[in-house]
Structure 1
Amino acid sequence: MDLVLIRHPEVAVDAGVCYGQTDVPLQRDARESASALTARMKALNVPPCVDGWHASPLVRCASIARALGGDVHPDARLAEMHFGAWEGRAWDAIDRALIDAWADDIAHARPHGGESLAQFAHRVIAWFDATCVDERAVHVVAHAGVVRVLAAHLLGVARESALQWPLDFGGIAWFRRVRGQWLLVRWNA
């Protein structure tokens, strides 16, 4: 089984803004971005999408999934982490003590009033457990947080560690299950 995860392309938001579940638009046309992604997937020999695209319902993901073609299966469990009162605010405008409190217990702290990393991971992994049940390839357009949480889950590494892994806008993470074990085929391709 193959699991192909694509982070949405760049968004029309100023750098340094926390936008989590805020529904922000893409910076470029979705069709243009989808065309570039399709060419890259073909060059990487990514298995073709047969059963449609699973996607976060947020426009920056759903619009790419639609532009990639085929059926689209939006699922709220694939939305980015909810940052509560921090949504839409510049990171450097958030009280440093609150950010430090969050960093001190990244798994469970919720100083923003949104989701903790544990809550976020629980819903993302619930999607995975319900969806990735057979040998059909699954293709997803989602967010950096979703991709990193799934990578940590599949590879058995600490979530806190995977949150630090670089993942470009439009980056592709491709996993393959072989004899019951998940292998990383490509990261940030």
Structure 2
Amino acid sequence: MTGLMVWRHPRPRGVAGRCIGRADVPVDPRKAKRLAHRIRRAARRDGAAREVWTSPLRRGADVGRWLARWGWLHHVDPRLSELDFGAWDGQAWDTIGAAEVDAWCAAFASHAPGGGESVTVLMARCAAFMSAHPDAWVVGHAGWINAAARVMRGLPPPSVASEWPAPVGYGVAWRASNSRGAESQ
């Protein structure tokens, strides 16, 4: 089976109600190991190479480290990082001014929340990674997965936040097939 295969990282600890992008929050090691087992089983079933790519953030990289313990090649690539929320990152959503959030939602493609990066920049990172590694197995982040899905479908960055889909669940796989578009696993 060819195409990009992305698994969302396990649920991180202590993030309820907080804006989390590049904040390096921990995951329960048992959940990281459990997801690594699921990825390993799926790779065996699909005949995939024993190779995984993650962002440098612990919530994905911890899964990659488990796979590396079992003989997999683990690559870390900053292009796989979640959206950079700048000064908002790690803050409680209710402490971020409503006017700031509204400005981001109204110009979703181009506005860099908290002075971080725009969705357009995130999608460009996704496109660059996908071009270099079209058949990679990845442990990624919800925003990156949504951006990758838009890139795969040839869609532009959304102009308003309401055009952005809900995040995939923690530990859920998303496959972008080179021939058929995207499908959820």
Shorter-chain TM-score tier: 0.7 to 0.9
In 2: Cα distance, 1:154 partner to 1:92 partner:
34
Residue identity in the other structure for 1:50:
A
CA contact (8 A) 1:152 1:162 kept: no
Q: Is the 8 A contact 1:11 1:26 kept in 2?
A: yes
Q: Please list every run of 5 or more consecutive structure 2 residues that lacks an aligned counterpart in the other structure.
A: none
- Percent identical pairs in the alignment equals 32
Q: Give me the whole-angstrom Cα distance separating, in 2, the residues matched to 1:66 and 1:163.
A: 31
Query: 1-side partners of 2:3 and 2:156: how far apart?
Result: 22
The 3 A distance-change label for structure 1 pair 103 and 82 is same
Structure 1: runs of 5+ lacking an equivalent: none
Matched, 1:165 2:163: no
Give the direction of change, closer, same or farther, for the CA distance of 1:61–1:73 in structure 2 (3 Å limit): same
1:57 aligns with 2:86: no
Contact 1:19 1:87 in 2 (8 A): yes
Number of matched pairs: 177
The answer (yes or no) to whether the contact 2:4–2:130 under 8 Å persists in 1 is no
Q: Is the 8 A contact 2:43 2:50 kept in 1?
A: no
Report the equivalent of 1:143: 141
Could you say what secondary structure the match of 2:178 adopts? strand
Cα separation, 2, equivalents of 1:35 and 1:81: 27
Q: Distance in 1 between matches of 2:163 and 2:174?
A: 13
Q: Which moved more, 1:27-36 or 1:51-60?
A: 27-36
Equivalent residue for 1:75, pick from 77, 84, 102: 77
1:83-141 residue CA offsets vs partner (Å, 9 max, x unmatched) = 00101101111100000000010001124110011112112211112222xxxx32011
Q: Distance in 2 between matches of 1:60 and 1:49?
A: 23
The CA RMSD measured in Å over matched residues stands at: 2.1
Contact 1:10 1:28 in 2 (8 A): no
Native 8 Å contact 2:82 2:143 kept in 1: yes
SS of 2:102's equivalent in the other structure is: helix
Q: C-alpha separation between the residues in 2 aligned to 1:67 and 1:28?
A: 9
Contact persistence 2:146–2:167 (CA under 8 A) = no
